[in-house]
Amino acid sequence: MKPYFEKILVGVDDSEDAIKAFKYAIHRAIRDDVELIICSVLEDDTLNVYQALDKDYVHGKRDALDKHIREYQQQALDAGVKNVRVFVAEGDAGETIVKTVIPQVHPDLLVIGSKAKKNGLPQRLGSQAAYMVKNTPISVMVVRK
């Protein structure tokens, strides 16, 4: 029987909740024998104006992120996922995943992590997770810390 989801996209950023989402995505990809796409976003708002104008600084940050996401890829392969791709983008994490990454990689399921918070959707999920849940055109699995 063909799995309902054939491509799983997971966003990673080294936070505890993202690591938990990554582990779930690995488990699901192995169980369903489907492709896993690991995405990380170099967020522009974490750079000050001088860093953003320094192309060597931005390029160095991008290279470091590329190298780091390859470590995630290797972890997934070592765990038994047969087909793993990586995708690095730049911008606001939630918006970039919804508007850039998803249209380019065409996943069926987005797996994201979220810390348990209080009061209202953005507070309960965090603003990035809430944005993705509300705006993504595909199914979303929110893994809670």
Q: Which domains does the chain have, with CATH numbers?
A: 7-144 (3.40.50.620)
Residue 57 pLDDT > 90: no
Q: Judging by beta carbons within 10 Å of its beta carbon (0-12, 13-18, 19+), is residue 79 exposed, middle or buried?
A: middle
Question: Helical H runs in 10-54?
Answer: 16-32, 49-53
Chain segment 59-115, per-residue pLDDT in tens: 456 788 889 899 999 999 999 999 999 999 988 889 999 999 999 999 999 999 987
Instruction: Flag whether pLDDT at 4 surpasses 60.
Output: yes
Q: What is the pLDDT of residue 108?
A: 95
| Cα–Cα distance measured from residue 77 to residue 67, given in angstroms and rounded to the nearest whole number | 15
pTM for this predicted structure: 0.82
